[in-house]
A and B are shown apart, each in its own frame.
Chain A
Amino acid sequence: MSATVARSARPARRRGVFLLLGAALLAMFLFVALFGGAIAPYDPNAQDLLVLLDPPSATHWFGTDEIGRDIAARVIVGTRITLTIALTSVALAGVAGVALGLVAGYVHGAIDRVIMLCLDLLMTVPSLVLAIAVVAAIGANAVGLVTAITISFVPPLARLVRARVLELCDLDYVEAARAVGMRPKRILLRHILPNAESVIVIELSLMAGEAVLVGSALGFLGLGVQPPAPEWGAMLGASRQFLEVAPHVAVVPGLAVSLLVLAFNLFGDGLRDWLDPTATT
């Protein structure tokens, strides 16, 4: 029996496939988000009162909703909303989390302790509960939603970056940079950040999937993007009361959410295997 049992339970040749599959799916979603209006077979808000809650058919591929709107068109046009919210909140959380993590990790002492104390306090609130409280305070709309997701993502990201910075600060090259009199800002941005990049990129792509889940959950609860905007979570929330008579209304928006999350997960996991082969699962 060989002593070098593969640490990852996944054979090496399949790793790249997941990354490519994730990237291909994301490219597809991006395309639909950009050109959704042109692809959609109908106007997403056009009502046709002759076909209420119709099951899938040749004219309406995924059926129609309670006021006769084409579900396919709504899911296609809704892609842009979901993707925009997820990417915006992840980008904002990325900037804030990386900045806080870099500072907390590099500057020891009081500043580090205060930053970590605040982040640790925020992390004791379950992230969805925190998001709901933030939406309650700011308001149930796109701005509140993005703020809520961003706030709940900053603490774990900042913690991760801080840990990586602490790790890197112990290395000789950072000490050397400090010894030649380089300013902290330059050391952080030119020497530490590039080496923390892969960890950050992997975490952000997995967080994007998480953001899609949180965003659609809040939409479902009526705390996110409001109807009649064709946001997937809001569509699912509206379909809840017709589940008994027309379950098809709930199928496609849910599949869309799942597929987008799957794309981000595959991409993030694939990226991790590719950039950091020593990591276990």
Chain B
Amino acid sequence: MLRLLAWRLLLIPPTVLGVVTILFLIFKAVPGDEATMVAGATATQAEIDVVRHQLGLDRPLLVQYASHVAGLLHGDLGYSSTFRGNPLPHILERAPATLLLTVSAIALTVLIGIPGGILAASFQHRWPDLAVSGGVVALLAVPNFWLGMMLIALLSVRLGWLPSLGLTGPASLLMPTLALAARLIALVARLMRGMVIEERHKDYVRTAYAKGLTVGRIMYRHVLRNALIPIVTVVGLQTGYLLGGSVVVERLFDWPGVGDLLLTAVGLRDYTLVQGITVLFVIGFLLINLVVEALYRLINPRLR
């Protein structure tokens, strides 16, 4: 297993290089002159030429690409007009807030989704099941940012219980996490419900009942362990959604994370920053998937 994970880890750099290349080509194809944008609206042609030379934009495309990649290897993302230099430290400074948001979203998913699914399965076709299943259908249709807005309107504006903006303490984490996790909670609850309904008539569960185990112990020790494998798969598949969704949720809640910075960069047409953050999201995506893969192999003895 370790060899496989090491192999997957080794595959990350070439994958990132591939994404870097695609992004480089996309943004080189963008109409509009980078030097003119960096120099500013009032610059003369001579000033623009100086900037063009300073940024190395007058070199052949292949040379620019080579120095771009060489820069990345040294942790230099290029010239960001927002930060007047290498934006990497500024991006990394915001990474913890995004990490906190996504990790707590996963935690909340496990905390609500799994018991929700078990509850629904235990009362199949009765009202707790209908409530959970209805909630699942609704949560999968609701846009996360709108859910966040309704939470703000209710919990901060109407009731005044929670702060609506920024990262100011544990309470401020609640609404952004809920908005981001809603879709995952729904997916996990639906999966868990299906798993429990499918598993509970199997022989091993009947044996466990016959041994006189309590329902809670059967669920936790036996059924949940079998259900964990597809759940880890689903959470892994939704990594992309979590990272992408964090961008929207961060903007709504004024969350000081990387996604919010990405939107600022788009607004300022700072393509260096846009590319840098996108690459960072890709690295995050690959690392999370590596962890999921490791977990998956850990809990699935057939793959050990």
Contact = CB atoms under 8 A, between A and B. Distances in A.
Given A236-B149, A250-B149, A257-B146, A129 B243 contact: yes
Nearest to A1: B201
A123 B157 CA distance: 39
B201 A126 contact: no
B146 A236 contact: yes
B152 A121 contact: no
A214 B138 CA distance: 17
Interface in A1-48: 1, 5, 7-9, 11
A127 to B, nearest CB: 6
Nearest to B19: A121
A216 interface: yes
Nearest to B144: A217
A255 to B, nearest CB: 8
Contacts of A134: 26
B153 A136 contact: no
B194 A280 contact: yes
Interface centre among B19, B30, B143, B144 (most CB of A within 10 A): B143
Interface stretch (B65-73, B216-224, B245-253): B245-253
A220 B19 contact: no
Interface string A236-255: 10011001100100110010
Contacts of A220: 143, 145, 248, 252
B15 A129 contact: no
Interface in A116-160: 117-118, 120-138
Interface residues of A, number: 54
Contact of A133 (B140, B241, B251, B274): B274
Contacts of B267: 222
Contacts of A125: 19, 240, 278, 281-282, 285
A115 to B, nearest CB: 14
A21 B143 CA distance: 21
A126 B281 contact: yes
Nearest to B20: A121
A136 B266 contact: yes
A148 B247 CA distance: 16
A9 B124 contact: yes
Contacts of B30: 137-138
5 contacts: A9-B194, A118-B22, A129-B277, A133-B275, A220-B145
List 5 tightest A-B contacts by C-beta distance, closest first: A128-B244, A254-B146, A247-B153, A262-B141, A126-B244
Interface of B: 15, 18-19, 22-23, 26-27, 29-30, 121, 124-125, 137-138, 140-146, 149-150, 152-153, 157-158, 164, 190-191, 193-194, 197-198, 201, 206, 239-245, 247-248, 251-252, 262-263, 265-267, 269, 271, 274-275, 277-278, 281-282, 285-286
Given A1-B201, A137-B30, A221-B251, 9 more contacts: A9-B194, A9-B197, A132-B247, A209-B141, A216-B143, A236-B149, A254-B143, A257-B143, A261-B142
